[in-house]
Chain A
Amino acid sequence: MLSTIKDIGKLVADTQAANTIEENIEGKILFVNLDTVKLEYTGIEILEYTGIEIEDFDSDKRDYYLYKAGASKGNAPAPICPITEVEKTYKKIESWLKQCNQKIESWLKQCNQKIESWLKQCNQTKDPLINHAVGILSQKNFYALYLQMSLILYLQMSLINHAVGILSQRREDITSVLDKKIKDLPKKKGEGRFLSLKINKKYLGEYDILKNCLINLSEEKLKRSAGSGVCSLCGLSDKEVSGKTNVFKFYTIDKPGFITGGFKEALAWKNFPVCGECRALLENGKEFLKKKLNFKFYGLNYYLIPRLLIGSKEIWEEILNIMSETPKTISPEEKIKKRITNDENEILEYLSEKKDVLTLNFLFLKEEQSAERILLLIEDVFPSRIRKIFDAKNEVDELFNKNSDEKFTFGTIRTFFSKSSEGKSENDLDKYFLDIIDSVFKGKRIDFNLLVKFYMATIRREVINEGYFTFRVKDALMNIKFFENLGIITFEEVENMEESRLNSIFNRFGKSLKTPAKKGIFLLGVLTQWLLNKQWAERNARPFMKKLKGLRMDEKDIKALLPEVQNKLEEYDSFDQGKRLIASEASTYLLEAGDNWKMSVDEINFYFACGMNIAEDVSDIVYPNNGKKEKEE
């Protein structure tokens, strides 16, 4: 997967696409100004805090700000950071400057050491004449170059040193002013707030020494776990490789337990060696994925990563171009028709027409603080599989939504797999939902008993709250049909069952209603709904509902329910020929089913609820001439 992302990174770096992936940031930067001022009495010039300056974020000035997206995540020091809590953000900048100061100090030390060793070398030369000559010549160069370098470093260090001093001495003053400024600043939606520093009216990036510090510090971080070996992405040997890629945070070595073979950070490069070039390409690839191939999926985010089984760079380029441009080229009308997820930019339908040299990876990631967790990785899905999924969807729509604008999508599945109860603040059923999506894309079997448990949980909730009961039953039926079309659920079937005039209805359920017990329960559901309708028509209430035990009936309850429904219908003087017919079919099926149905309570009640929901359609068949009357009742 990562080598594919690296390949994408290389491609976009070679093409113009790379220029378009930089995101445009809108927001304001609050600069803490430190300027050299002359003291009135002594005339000495010193660095002093002179106030806060606010500027609009100008994307062209990224280099001046030394801005890098995501660099300041967590507690990482950085020269410019998005403001979270003023105190914390302030400390990040302060500690970055401190790091720079230490860096310059070490450079100064190195410079002085060079001077010393050079001096020693000169003194060691035995020939006095040469010694003299070299001494004079080189000393000139030495003073000219090294002293100059040393002096510059010293001056810069003292400037930064002063800046660090002021920042820590006046922390309280400055942060309280910052606090006030931020509160007074009108905030627009989507606008960021950043904190940075200006020294002598110059941006930090205008100081070459600070620029070098930034590069050096990030290189140093990588070198902490570096060695010479084979890069795991490009496969080239004898490269300087590091175990700290820091691109995807599902690989971290922040805990010793993650470092196999001895828990030693210095040897972590052995686990996942990546060379500098590949790391840069990987970053590029990730940026591209984030901008162009990141899709939303019912509260979850996924990257769509294309991969070629075999193929040349040209094919790669074409596919990538199509994938990054297609969402814009599909017209909105077409999009609505063919979407299967809730993302407007979805391109799955389009990709389903591609040939099977291309495979797709769906990487569902969840960001948790500074780490990333892989919720699900669906690997190597072929366009032909996506085509099959769309075919299955179209078949469902043909059957259930012919005259409706509402179409079957993965949202229909999500209805049952988001929250286990309404009171939950977060979606706690993501795991199940992702497992189902995995099964859909990979053609893995789903356990019907698991599905029906969640269907019934939602359906019961709707019945109790008198909510969208009918719609939820229909959603569940559509789901089952969809899974059946894909061949990922199967049902027990009883062959050679008698033909019934309700076969057209039963066939809508596919194979899920192909046993006598299921048909019997279903028809009892129909009969019960008619009774409830009758009660509503006569009394404006449905007292019989209590007998249904909140849709938690078992085999015994169902068998006991049939005579009760029949009796009640008789009492209402409504047990006409049509109802008699259904009652007789129901009892025939229930008798045929025998005892011990081997069905869970959820499954029994699901078919019962289906019957209740489809009662209206059954009326059309049983009462072809006066079906209207039944419906009204």
Chain B
Amino acid sequence: MKVLVFDIWGDYGHFRKFYTTTSPLTFSFPPPPTIAGILGAIYGTDKNSNEYLKVFGTEKCKIALQILSPVKKVRMGLNLLETKGTNLRLPMSDKNLAPRTQIRTEFLKDPCFRIYISHEDEQVFNKLSEGIQEHKSVYTVSLGLSELLANFKYVGLYDSYEKTSNKAVELCTPVTVDKLIEDKIEIEQNKKYFKEKIPIKMNQERIVEKYEDVIFESDGKTLKATVKSYYQLEQGVNIVFF
């Protein structure tokens, strides 16, 4: 199976945890539906019908991610438009409400990720690879919010092989708990393990169809885990798709 590999990075990123609104927190990396959105921006899927969720949905597209720079989170105030009451249409109409509201938001600082993609539709896959190789995108690529612009760089196109093993293997990607065999993950010294529940699969109506706990190392180091199956790239890197 061919796997397209590219890096994406920016100064800041924000992937809002779905259970926060008044104090938005961020996931440590973009969940698969967000990555699908990024791919959609490069590929140029229709924005109004959420086509990106169809073209790069988990049925057709396999997505894996590697954390390249340590996860750093910072908090800053964002001035948002106050949308309470009558304020949305006529910002100064309600004397008791200011037109803006400051929301303290958590951001990722200097995020950098390596994304692994494989797609069953060759045409889509080739067009996407071309776009990334030529550093061309139809819509502007950002990391979560439109203000947080991102840059990306083609890394390569590799052959990969599905493998199974009942021994622990070094994985460079976060791994979802449902992929582990009997919760087997080896805790190693000097590694920082995190667990987050992220949306995995979202349909075109923007309804999440699958949530899963995902374990990752926040400095981007490898994980040693026993998984049901994994993919080995030709240069020897082991990855697990979401």
Contact = CB atoms under 8 A, between A and B. Distances in A.
B19 A2 contact: yes
A88 B187 CA distance: 56
Interface stretch (B121-129, B132-140, B191-199, B230-238): B191-199
Contact of B72 (A356, A372, A444): A444
Contacts of B211: 230, 232, 235
Nearest to B195: A309
A257 B83 contact: yes
B215 interface: yes
A307 B83 contact: no
Contacts of A258: 21-22, 83
Contacts of B106: 377
Nearest to B194: A380
Given A3-B197, A255-B83, A380-B192, A230 B22 contact: no
Contacts of B205: 270
A143 B126 CA distance: 74
Contacts of A431: 75
Nearest to A356: B187
Contacts of A543: none
Nearest to A365: B23
Contact of A372 (B22, B80, B104): B22
B209 A237 contact: yes
A98 B210 CA distance: 42
A362 B218 CA distance: 17
Sorting the interface of chain A by its residue count into under 10, 10 to 19, 20 to 34 or 35 or more gives: 35 or more
B87 to A, nearest CB: 9
Interface string B72-85: 10010000111110
Contacts of A299: none
Contacts of B104: 373-375
Interface in A1-18: 1-3
Interface in B177-223: 177, 180, 183, 185, 187, 192-195, 197, 199, 205-213, 215, 218
B206 A270 contact: yes
A232 B18 contact: yes
Contacts of A376: 75
B92 interface: no
A484 interface: no
A232 B208 contact: yes
B49 interface: no
A272 B195 contact: no
Contact of B22 (A2, A229, A251, A272): A251
A273 interface: yes
B26 to A, nearest CB: 10
A309 B20 contact: no
Contacts of B192: 380, 382
A229 B208 CA distance: 8
A204 to B, nearest CB: 32
A432 to B, nearest CB: 11
A309 B209 contact: no
A257 B20 contact: no
A597 interface: no
Interface string B32-66: 00000000000000000000000000000000000
Interface in A207-247: 227, 229-230, 232, 235, 237
B88 interface: yes
Interface string A366-392: 000001111111011010000000000
Given A229-B207, A380-B195, A256 B88 contact: yes
Nearest to B213: A3
A115 to B, nearest CB: 40
Interface string B95-107: 0000000001010
Nearest to A254: B84
Given A3-B197, A309-B187, A380-B192, A249 B22 contact: yes
Given A271-B18, A374-B20, A232 B193 contact: no
B25 interface: yes
Given A3-B213, A232-B208, A255-B82, A250 B20 contact: yes
Nearest to A385: B192
A232 B180 CA distance: 20
Given A3-B197, A272-B18, A380-B194, A230 B25 contact: no
Contacts of B72: 444
Given A229-B208, A232-B18, A257 B80 contact: yes
B195 A250 contact: no
A263 B88 CA distance: 11
A249 B72 CA distance: 26
Given A307-B195, A380-B195, A270 B207 contact: yes
A257 B89 CA distance: 12
Contacts of B18: 232, 271-272
Contacts of A533: none
Given A229-B208, A232-B19, A249-B22, A309 B197 contact: no
A624 interface: no
B240 to A, nearest CB: 16
Contacts of B207: 227, 229-230, 270
A213 B210 CA distance: 35
B210 A235 contact: yes
Contacts of A380: 192-195, 218
Contact of A253 (B21, B180, B206, B210): B21
Nearest to B70: A444
A230 B210 CA distance: 7
Nearest to A380: B194
Given A251-B19, A374-B25, A376-B75, A273 B185 contact: no
Interface string A599-632: 0000000000000000000000000000000000
Nearest to A256: B83
A3 B198 CA distance: 11
Contacts of B206: 261, 270
A128 interface: no
Interface string A521-562: 000000000000000000000000000000000000000000
A252 B19 CA distance: 9
B208 A273 contact: yes
A431 to B, nearest CB: 8
A310 interface: yes
B194 to A, nearest CB: 5
Nearest to B178: A235
A373 B185 contact: no
A380 B84 CA distance: 35
Contacts of A272: 18-19
A322 interface: no
- A-B pairs, top 7 by smallest CB distance, nearest first, are A257-B83, A374-B23, A258-B21, A310-B183, A255-B83, A250-B23, A255-B84
25 contacts: A1-B19, A3-B197, A229-B209, A230-B207, A235-B211, A249-B22, A250-B21, A252-B21, A252-B22, A255-B83, A256-B83, A257-B80, A257-B81, A257-B83, A261-B206, A307-B195, A310-B177, A310-B185, A310-B215, A359-B195, A375-B104, A377-B25, A380-B192, A380-B195, A444-B72
Given A229-B207, A250-B19, A251-B22, 13 more contacts: A230-B208, A230-B209, A232-B19, A235-B211, A249-B22, A255-B84, A261-B206, A272-B19, A273-B208, A309-B187, A374-B25, A379-B194, A380-B193
